[in-house]
Amino acid sequence: MLTMEEALKQSDLSFAPGQIVKGTVIEVRAKEALIDIGYKSEGAVPSSEFDDFKSVKPGDEIDVMIVRLEDRDGNVVLSKEQAEFKQNWEKILTICNEGGTVTGKVKSVVKGGLLVNIGVEAFLPASQIDVVPPKNLATYVGNSYEFKVVKINQERQNIVLSRRELIEQERSERRTKLLAEMMPGDIRKGTVKNITDFGAFIDLNGLDGLLHITDMSWGRIGHPTEMLRIGQEVDVVVLDINREKERVSLGLKQKLANPWEEIETKYPVDQKVKGRVVNLVPYGAFIELEPGVEGLVHATELSWVKRIAKPSDVLKPDQEVEAVVLGINKEEQKISLSIRRLEPNPWDEAAEKYPPGTKITGKIRSLTSYGAFVELEDGIDGMIHVSDISWTRKINHPSEVLKKGQEVESVILEIDKENQRIGLGIKQLTPDPWEHIDDLYKVGDLITGKVTKLASFGAFVGLEHDIDGLVHISQVSEEHVDKIKNVLKVGQEVTARVIKIDKAERRIGLSIKAANYSTDQLKAEQAVLDSLKPGEDLVALQHAFDAADEGRTPDEEEGEETNKSPAQEEENK
C-alpha cells in the first residue's frame, strides 16, 4: 500500500507546464483568486484575468493553464487568460478550416483598422468593416458583431477578420430576393446612399436603385442636394427593373399627381397668374407658377413700348411677378405668358391720339444715320426720316441740323400700329417752296446771297425761302479757277444770276461771272451747264453739305462717312 508521500509524488506526475486543467476557487482576495487544481499547492490568478471579478466566489470552477509547477514560494503558477487563449485559438483554427464565422467585440482602434476580441485578439482592416468605408472608427469600439475569418498565421498567431464579406453576402441574398419580388409601381423604403450631379443612389436594403434628378420633383431643381441628403430615409416609387443587369430606376415625383394633367382647366388663356422668376435667358424669362409648372415670358412680351435687350435688365431671379396666360401646349408642357398684356396697349390709342396731320412738339431722344427719334410720350417715339427734314436741302445725316435733347416741332405723317411706328416730318410744317419755284425764281434773275459752303466743284449760295443755289467752279470767273477756296470764302456775299432751274431734281444753278451777261451770253452759259458730265454737275449736291473743309470731293466725303468709328456714330446720337 502506497504511503501519502508516495501518492503525492505519483499524482504530481499528471501535471505539467502548458497543461489546461480545471480548478476550484477556494478563496477570493483583493487582487487575486486562490485556485485549487488538486496539486500539492494552490495557485493564484490575478483579478485582471477575469471579465467580472466581483462576481467570482468560492466554489466556482474555472479552466486554468499551468504556467509553472512551482515559483520561489513553492506555489503553482496559473493563468486563466492563457487557458482561454489556447482554447480559443484551437477553436478559431477549427472555424477557419470549416469556413465558419465568429462573434467578437471591438476592443480598440489601431493603425489601419480595429482590434477585435474573438477569444483571442484579431485584426479587422478598415476596408473590411463595412461596404462603405467608415469615417469614424471609434464608433465601433465596444460593439459586438459577426465576423468571417479570412486569414490566419499560426506561427505568429495572427488572425485577419472581415465584416464586409458577411454584409455583402447578406446583401446579395437580399438583392436576389428583392429583384424576384419587386414590381414597377411598388413603393419602397430606402436610404440615400450617394448623391451625384445627375441623381441619387438609394439603398433598398440590399439593392441600389437610381433616382434620377428629373424624377425627383415635377418642379425645377438645380441639384439633388436641394431635396436629399446622404443617410436620409425616403419612400420611392419603382419605375423600371432590369433584372439581368440588376438595375432599378426610382422616382419621387411619381408619388404625386402630374400637375400638367388638368393644366388647361387650371390656367385658362387670358387668366392672370402669379409666379416666381426661376430662369433668365436671352430670349425670355421662365416663371414658376407652381412646382412642376413653368411658363415662358418671351422678351417681346415684357413691354409694349420699351425695347428690352435682355430680360435680366428688367427682371431678377426669384422675383415675384404677375402675367397673363397667352397659350398652353399640354403635350410639350409649355405655357406662353405675357407681362405687357397686364396693361392696355398704348398703340391701340395712338391712332386716335395722333392722327396724321397732327402737329406735335417733342424732345429728340436719339439720332441715327437715317433719321431722328422724337419722344412723343413715355415709351412712344416717332421718327423723322432725313428725307422729311427739309424741302430744299439734301440732308445726309440728321446731326447736320438737329441735336440730341433738342425740342422740335413736327407733324404726324403716318401710324403703323402693327409694327409700332409713327412717321414724323418737319418739312411738312411749311409749304414746299419748289411747288411755286416759278413764282420765286426765273432764269436770268439777278440774286444776292452769302456763300454757305464750299466744295471742290463749286460753292453753295444761300437764297431766300431756305433754298441753296450752286455756283459751279466754271461759273465763278472768266479766268480759270483751280481751287474754289482761292476766290470765295464761306460767309462772303456774292451777286449771281440764275442760269438754270431743274424742278425735277430741285436744283438751281447760279453764275457769278454771268451777273452782267446779255441774254445771248446767258443762253450760252446755260448750254455749258447742261453739257457737264453727271459726276461734275448738280448730282454732286448730295454730298456737298458734308464738306466741312474746303477742297474735299464728294467721293472723299463719302469715304470718310463710311470710315466713321462707332464712337463717332455714338457721338452723333
3-class SS of residue 169: helix
Take residue 393 and report the three cell numbers written for it. 436741302
Amino acid at position 489, single letter: K
Helix (H) / strand (E) containing 161? strand 158-162
Mean pLDDT score of the chain, rounded to an integer? 81
| 320 domain residue, yes or no | yes
The reported pLDDT for the residue numbered 114 is 92
Same domain? 509 vs 455:
yes
pLDDT in tens, 327-377: 988 888 889 999 888 887 777 777 778 888 888 888 998 899 889 998 887
The reported pLDDT for the residue numbered 96 is 65
The reported pLDDT for the residue numbered 546 is 40
Query: Which of residues 167, 196, 219 is at a domain's end?
Result: 167
What percentage of residues in the chain have a pLDDT greater than 90? 14
Please give the model's pTM, rounded to 2 decimal places: 0.41
The reported pLDDT for the residue numbered 532 is 56
| 573 domain residue, yes or no | no
Same domain? 455 vs 527:
yes
Take residue 195 and report the three cell numbers written for it. 448623391
Confidence check: pLDDT of 417 > 80: no
The pLDDT of 266-290, averaged and rounded, is 90
Amino acid at position 417, single letter: K
Instruction: Name the pLDDT band for 496 (thresholds 50, 70, 90).
Output: very high
Backbone torsion region of residue 333, taken as left when φ is above 0, otherwise alpha when ψ lies between -120 and 50, otherwise beta: left
For residues 490 and 452, the answer to whether their CB atoms sit within 8 Å is yes
Same domain? 463 vs 532:
yes
The CATH number that applies at residue 407 is 2.40.50.140
For residues 458 and 469, the answer to whether their CB atoms sit within 8 Å is no
The reported pLDDT for the residue numbered 113 is 92
| 486 domain residue, yes or no | yes
Same domain? 370 vs 403:
yes
Least trusted range by pLDDT, from 118-132, 175-189, 540-554 = 540-554
> Which residue range is the domain that position 68 belongs to?
19-98
The pLDDT of 134-147, averaged and rounded, is 90
Which has more confidence, 543 or 296? Answer: 296
The reported pLDDT for the residue numbered 541 is 41
The reported pLDDT for the residue numbered 533 is 45
| 4 domain residue, yes or no | no
Query: Which of residues 319, 342, 365 is at a domain's end?
Result: 342
| 498 domain residue, yes or no | yes
Least trusted range by pLDDT, from 71-75, 176-180, 395-399, 568-572 = 568-572
Same domain? 555 vs 444:
yes
Same domain? 526 vs 477:
yes
Distance (Å, whole) CA 321 – CA 269 = 17
Identify the bridge partners of residue 83 per DSSP, sorted by sequence position. none
| 356 domain residue, yes or no | yes
* DSSP state letters, 430-443: S--GGGGHHHH--T
Closest by alpha carbon to 43, among 83, 86, 7, 10?
83
Identify the bridge partners of residue 447 per DSSP, sorted by sequence position. 496
Identify the bridge partners of residue 409 per DSSP, sorted by sequence position. 361
Distance (Å, whole) CA 27 – CA 50 = 15
Where do we find the cell 459751279? 472
The reported pLDDT for the residue numbered 571 is 38
Residue 257 burial by CB count (10 A; 0-12/13-18/19+): exposed, middle or buried? exposed
Q: Which residues of 30-42 are buried (b: 16+ CB within 10 A; e: fewer)?
A: eebbbbebebeeb
What percentage of residues in the chain have a pLDDT greater than 70? 88
Closest by alpha carbon to 296, among 241, 336, 238, 250?
336
3-class SS of residue 261: coil
| 43 domain residue, yes or no | yes
Query: Which of residues 395, 429, 463 is at a domain's end?
Result: 429
Same domain? 301 vs 268:
yes
The reported pLDDT for the residue numbered 221 is 78
Same domain? 421 vs 454:
no
Same domain? 338 vs 416:
no
Backbone torsion region of residue 531, taken as left when φ is above 0, otherwise alpha when ψ lies between -120 and 50, otherwise beta: alpha
Take residue 321 and report the three cell numbers written for it. 411677378
The reported pLDDT for the residue numbered 325 is 92
| 13 domain residue, yes or no | no
Confidence check: pLDDT of 379 > 80: no
Same domain? 52 vs 82:
yes
CB atoms within 10 A of CB 483: 12
Which has more confidence, 435 or 250? Answer: 250
Which has more confidence, 177 or 289? Answer: 289
Same domain? 273 vs 249:
no
The reported pLDDT for the residue numbered 99 is 59
Instruction: Name the pLDDT band for 97 (thresholds 50, 70, 90).
Output: low
Same domain? 312 vs 333:
yes
For residues 327 and 269, the answer to whether their CB atoms sit within 8 Å is yes
The reported pLDDT for the residue numbered 336 is 93
Closest by alpha carbon to 402, among 421, 427, 422?
427
The reported pLDDT for the residue numbered 547 is 40
Confidence check: pLDDT of 572 > 80: no
Confidence check: pLDDT of 209 > 60: yes
Confidence check: pLDDT of 296 > 90: yes
Where do we find the cell 480595429? 114
Give the total number of structural domains in the chain.
6
Q: How far is CA 42 from CA 14, 35, 426, in A?
A: 15, 6, 132
For residues 118 and 150, the answer to whether their CB atoms sit within 8 Å is no
